[in-house]
């Protein structure tokens, strides 16, 4: 692994209220760099493989649904084997996603739909019925694709004629500003149900599930027995002051962001993990995802040398706060940048636990356990800088000694 440089902040973080009011004053504290060499356990090259279907092996239920969708559009599919073109779309790690095409009546144009095959065991991560309700509600708000139909193992969605972003797109200043503006609009959505933070209960549920699935050696390797106390600590420290709550996407990797090449409009897709949370958590998630390239030869490897620097993070937050027509002060920008930085900690726990559970239940060819190791490594490395404590943490102390080869 390349040497990693972590830019960190020591800070306190502001109680909770719904995303409507302005931020309270925030202490600006110092930034610094720390470096480590390598990570335990070498990475392995991975190749994405398909566990789904081809056009010759479509589930009968899906065939019936596709014929119905085609009929609604004035098309008639006589021979599925001959008419359909099926392509697997890479980059998804919870579901398997396919593009299915056929010619319209008269052959004047190609019809496209997106078929999402639900991953096995993913109900541990989210409630599928809730996710579909969120999907439909967001569609009514003008966000994302329309739901065209459902079958037992998945659903058919409108195919958005836009380009999925790449890892490098996230670093383009203009694109980043557009994402920030769209994200604020998303956070302001008035979704049905209680507007309470989901993060902490979800983390606790995932710790329990990870411990249930893991062997004794895995529980020890990932220090799972310590995580309930870590979550309690994070919730206590991050809830001491006021913070903005909004409807968060919670999975802002580049593959879930699309851009219309003609209008440059941004669309956020895939809402499996969406819920009300602190907006700083969502922004932190996006910053963490800038270290990933899920279309490389080693899609599970995260490069923390590419974590956005202070200027890049500040520009994103400034665009976010300016998107409603305001002119945020530097103090407001600095405050939200700092809040986002400390919220990288629960992000690392969230996706570390996701990796462990996925490694046990998901058949998609991705090195989930190595991915989880990296997220937990980052948590233990950054915690003493983001949550400084006069009390020596034996786990952090042990981890730092291990990383320094002592």
Q: Where are the domains of the chain?
A: 4-46+163-403, 55-158
pLDDT for the residue numbered 103: 87
Give 130 or 222, the one with higher predicted confidence.
222
Least confident of 46-50, 85-89, 160-164, 387-391: 46-50
- From residue 225, alpha-carbon distances to 9, 24, 36, 212, 218 in Å are 27, 36, 25, 12, 11
Q: Which is it for the CA torsion 309, 310, 313, 315, positive or negative?
A: negative
* CB burial string 351-379: b at 16+ within 10 A, e below: bbbbbbbbbbbbebebbbbbbbbbbbbbb
> Across residues 162-166, what is the average pLDDT?
95
pLDDT for the residue numbered 82: 79
| Banded pLDDT at 96 (limits 50, 70, 90) | confident
Residues 352-377: pLDDT tens digits? Answer: 999 999 999 887 788 999 999 999 99
Cα–chain center distance at 62: 28
Phi-psi region of 405 (alpha: psi -120 to 50; beta: other; left: phi over 0): left
CA dist 129 and 135 (Å) reads 10
Class of domain 4-46+163-403: alpha beta
CATH architecture of the domain covering 55-158: 2-Layer Sandwich (3.30)
pLDDT for the residue numbered 117: 86
Residues 42-93: pLDDT tens digits? Answer: 233 223 333 456 656 788 889 889 989 988 888 888 787 778 888 888 766 6
What does the CA dihedral 274, 276, 280, 282 come to, rounded to 10 degrees?
0
DSSP per-residue string spanning 184-231: HHHHT---SS-----HHHHHHHHHHHHHHHS-HHHHHHTTGGGHHHHH
Least confident of 11-25, 70-84, 162-176, 341-355: 11-25
Give 138 or 4, the one with higher predicted confidence.
138
Beta-carbon contacts of 291 under 8 Å, excluding residues fewer than 6 positions away, are 302, 303, 304, 306, 307
Beta-carbon contacts of 232 under 8 Å, excluding residues fewer than 6 positions away, are none
CA dist 358 and 93 (Å) reads 9
Give 344 or 84, the one with higher predicted confidence.
344
* CB burial string 8-17: b at 16+ within 10 A, e below: bbbbebbebe
pLDDT for the residue numbered 332: 96
Please provide the average confidence, as pLDDT, over all residues in the chain: 82
CA dist 100 and 110 (Å) reads 10
Return phi, psi of residue 110, to 5°.
Answer: -95, 130
What does the CA dihedral 250, 252, 255, 259 come to, rounded to 10 degrees?
120
pLDDT for the residue numbered 388: 81
Residue 20 reports pLDDT greater than 90 = no
Residue 403 reports pLDDT greater than 90 = no
> Across residues 268-295, what is the average pLDDT?
96
Least confident of 33-47, 70-84, 183-197: 33-47
> Across residues 8-22, what is the average pLDDT?
35
pLDDT for the residue numbered 172: 98
**The tokens 């027509």 sit on which residue?**
325
> Across residues 347-351, what is the average pLDDT?
99
User: Counting Cβ atoms within 10 Å, is residue 290 exposed (0-12), middle (13-18) or buried (19+)?
Assistant: buried
| Banded pLDDT at 347 (limits 50, 70, 90) | very high
């Amino acid at each position: 692994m390349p040497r990693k440089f972590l830019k960190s902040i020591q800070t306190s973080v502001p109680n909770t209220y719904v995303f409507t009011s302005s931020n309270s004053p925030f202490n600006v504290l110092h930034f610094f760099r720390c470096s480590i060499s390598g990570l335990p356990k070498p990475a392995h090259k991975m190749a994405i493989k398909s566990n789904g279907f081809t056009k010759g092996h479509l589930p009968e239920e899906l065939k019936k649904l596709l014929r119905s969708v085609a009929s609604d559009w004035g098309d008639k599919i006589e021979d599925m084997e001959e008419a359909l073109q099926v392509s697997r779309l890479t980059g998804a790690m919870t579901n398997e996603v396919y593009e299915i095409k056929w010619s319209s009546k008269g052959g004047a144009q190609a019809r496209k739909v997106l078929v999402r095959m639900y991953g096995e065991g993913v109900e541990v991560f989210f409630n599928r019925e809730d996710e579909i309700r969120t999907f439909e509600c967001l569609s009514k708000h003008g966000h994302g694709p329309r739901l065209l139909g459902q079958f037992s193992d998945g659903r058919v969605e409108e195919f958005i004629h836009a380009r999925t972003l790449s890892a490098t797109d996230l670093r383009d200043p203009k694109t980043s500003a557009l994402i920030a503006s769209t994200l604020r609009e998303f956070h302001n959505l008035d979704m049905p149900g209680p507007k309470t933070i989901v993060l902490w209960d979800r983390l606790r549920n995932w710790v329990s599930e990870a411990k249930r699935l893991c062997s004794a050696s895995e529980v020890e390797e990932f220090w799972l027995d310590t995580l309930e106390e870590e979550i309690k600590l994070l919730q206590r420290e991050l809830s001491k002051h006021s913070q903005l709550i909004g409807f968060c996407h919670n999975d802002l990797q580049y593959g879930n962001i699309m851009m219309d090449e003609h209008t440059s409009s941004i669309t956020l897709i895939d809402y499996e993990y969406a819920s009300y949370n602190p907006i700083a958590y969502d922004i932190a998630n996006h910053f963490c995802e800038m270290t990933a390239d899920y279309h490389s030869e080693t899609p599970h490897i995260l490069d923390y040398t590419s974590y956005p620097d202070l200027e890049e993070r500040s520009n994103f937050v400034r665009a976010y706060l300016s998107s409603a027509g305001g002119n945020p002060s530097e103090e407001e920008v600095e405050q939200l940048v700092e809040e986002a930085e400390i919220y990288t900690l629960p992000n690392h726990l969230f996706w570390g636990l996701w990796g462990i559970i996925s490694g046990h239940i998901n058949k998609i060819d991705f090195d989930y356990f190595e991915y989880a190791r990296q997220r937990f490594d980052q948590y233990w490395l950054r915690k003493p800088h983001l949550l400084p404590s006069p009390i020596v943490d034996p786990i952090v102390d042990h981890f730092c000694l291990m990383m320094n080869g002592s």
